[in-house]
Structure 1
Amino acid sequence: MRFKKLDLNLLVALDTLLTEQSITKGAEKLNMSPSALSNSLSRLREYFNDDLLAQVGRKMLITPFGENLKVHVRNALNNIESTILIQPTFEPQNTDRIFSIFCSDYTQTVFIPYLLEVVGQHKCTARFEFLAQIDNPHEQLERGEADLLIIPSDFVSKEHPNDVLYEEEFACVVWQHSELAKGELTKQKYAEAGHVVMRPGGMKKGFFELSFANQHNIERRIAATTFSFASLPALVIGTDNIATIHARLAHKMAQAWPLKIHPLPFDIPVLKQCAQWHQYRHKDEGLIWLRNAFQEAAQNMGS
């Protein structure tokens, strides 16, 4: 099918090429031969009168014009999917839909069990795919790889709508036989201690440093880093280190590990955990149902 002399089938190829920046990887993703995708790239270059992707050494780099097209092409495909391809009605008890949700392991530990309980009560037959935490999760939303993000309000995109699900405070956990377990945890003790922190792949600083630590002029001495919030409490066992984690997670982990929970020795704003979805999916009945299930789960979770 052609629209203003452009074969619209080429839009999918263009989106994949600009995302993967590789003919081989793009062909694998589209289940087509590299030669066929290379031919599609040639036709796209001719139509747009631009290389779109330029070979530099062993890599293919996006041209400035291609970079400008990238978001617009992705948005066009998202719009087609949300307005034409998604079924107009959503029946929770009779659906084979798979919802892809980006969220941290903290969220999977303290919130998702309540969500799945609500899903079961509604006898919903949808399946859920929870995606690993990465830097710049909005790229997954833009590419249509995630239906929803569950992230702190500090990291929501201004380009897309969101709902606040619940609020969370922070606490410190230490090994209950450590020196730090004795007496009050002061700001000085906190600053002088070693810290175990979580950092998503590709990030030089974690959420706590980016959001709060600089406000109190605290430069934590990092003893260890991990990719998992849920592993933080275990990593302080047998040490004099501290893990600063979400309060709900701290209390849950204290039931399984020999930990003592201290309040933070300084005040910080509560974390607001949000659900965010693509602006073109605002009327998606499946996502509307799921967002309502999120809110019901948050109410069941309580404070």
Structure 2
Amino acid sequence: MSDKPSLARLDLNLLVPLDALLTERSVTRAAERLRLSQPALSAALARLRTHFNDPILARRGNTYELTPLAQRLTEYTSTALETARRVFESQSEWQADTSTREFTLYGSDYALSTVGAMVSRLASERAPGVRFRFMLHTPPIVEDAANRLRSVDGLLIPHGVLSDLPFDDLWTDRWVIVASATNARARAGLTMDDLATAHWVFTYQSMTAFTSATRQLQQLGLETMVDAVVESFIALPRYLVGTNRLGLVQAALVQSATAVGDVIAVEPPFDVTPLLNALWWHPSHRNDPEHTWMRALFREAGRLLETEHAST
């Protein structure tokens, strides 16, 4: 017989206040988030402390910090809540046009402003009750993708970063160099020597967070001088205006980057490796009909983007 406690003897309702307490690290803020009274949240915290034989929240001066156990519980709790949500949202005969399911995905601002926006538009026409929650990823999220994808529906990121996870290829883009309209070198056409001596603005720069284009610059032997790192492809061109810096953005963003007229786009003086954008997801979704529908919608959106940019 198993030594594990029976689920029937566990109060699973405590998962919700536990998640709020772990996230907010405050009884007051957790109560506000759940729209409960502070005494009710305090009672839930007392029961959680008894169950785990751990304070969960420990006072440090005027604030509270998570105990080591509470820090470990953070990932488990969000995963458990997401799994429970999926269990009770599942339907024997799922129909997209009547569903109210919410899909949650991580991506860069580039991914969210291109394929994310296209998917949202398609869904509004075919499944008006379906909701999408698009969230910006961070390097820690990408580094822990195998675990993060247990509690969300997907991660939008090009090939070259992840492996050993299911994926759907969406569309191919290319990298373009952007510069200030006052940058005389860029206006004349850049050479490899120009790239080697230029100052740059990068979107990511670490051992585990990088773009394929910046990695290719390194492989070409260029020791780039980086003046700023901004984790936003859409914001990057603003950091070039009035300077001689260079940056790299995807071709799909060039029109918006150059629309005002103070930024120009220049073709790189080397053969840049194409950018293959993909939707990555956890194997547990493989036989989920709702997730299958979502993936098909992303593939369609990718084809539409490919067609749009091929004609420009």
Q: Do these two structures clear the TM 0.5 threshold for a shared fold by scoring above it? A: yes
Deviation at 1:210, TM superposition (A): 10
| 8 Å contact kept, 2:116–2:134 | no
- Asked if 1:272 corresponds to 2:276, the answer is yes
Determine the structure 2 residue equivalent to 1:11.
15
Q: 1:241 aligns to what?
A: 245
Q: What is the DSSP-based 3-state SS (H/G/I as helix, E as strand, rest coil) of the residue aligned with 1:136? A: helix
1:282 Cα deviation from its structure 2 partner: 4.4
CA RMSD of aligned residues (A): 3.8
The one-letter code of the counterpart of 1:195 is W
Q: For residue 102 of structure 1, what is the amino acid of its counterpart?
A: Y
Q: Deviations over 1:183-209 (max 9, x none)?
A: 442233113223233359xx9996339
Instruction: Within 5 Å, give how 1:1-303 maps onto structure 2.
Output: 3=7, 5-119=9-123, 122=126, 124-137=128-141, 142=148, 147-156=153-162, 161-198=166-203, 207-208=210-211, 212=215, 214-250=218-254, 253-254=257-258, 257=261, 259-266=263-270, 269-278=273-282, 280-302=284-306
Q: Which amino acid aligns with 1:84?
A: F
Structure 2: gaps of 5 or more residues: 1-5
Residue 301 of structure 1: how far off its partner (Å) = 1.9
Q: TM-score, normalised on structure 2?
A: 0.76
**Structure 1: tracts of 5 or more residues without a match:** none
**What letter is aligned with 2:235?**
S
TM-score (norm 1): 0.77
Rounded Cα–Cα distance in structure 1 between residues aligned with 2:148 and 2:20: 13
**One-letter code of the match for 1:188?**
D
The 8 Å contact of residues 79 and 151 in structure 2, kept in 1 or not, is answered as no
Tell me if structure 2 keeps the 8 A contact 1:233–1:250: no
Question: Structure 1, residues 248-284: CA drift from partner, whole Å, max 9, x if none?
Answer: 3235644663654333345564433222345554444
Provide, for residues 109-147 of structure 1, a one-character-per-residue CA deviation record: whole Å limited to 9, x for no partner.
333344345435646543444334545346898499854
Mapped to 2, the partners of 1:113 and 1:46 lie a distance apart of: 46
C-alpha offsets along residues 38-90 of structure 1, whole Å, 9 cap, x if unaligned?
22222222222223332223343333333333333333332222223333443
User: Which one is further off, 283-292 or 122-131?
Assistant: 122-131
SS in 2 for 1:15: helix
1:7 aligned partner, one-letter code: D
Count of aligned residue pairs for this structure pair: 299
How far off its partner does 1:288 sit? 2.0
Aligned equivalents of 1:171 and 1:191: distance in 2?
Answer: 16
The whole-number CA distance in structure 2 between the counterparts of 1:280 and 1:77 is 15
Give, in whole Å, the separation in 2 of the partners of 1:92 and 1:71: 30
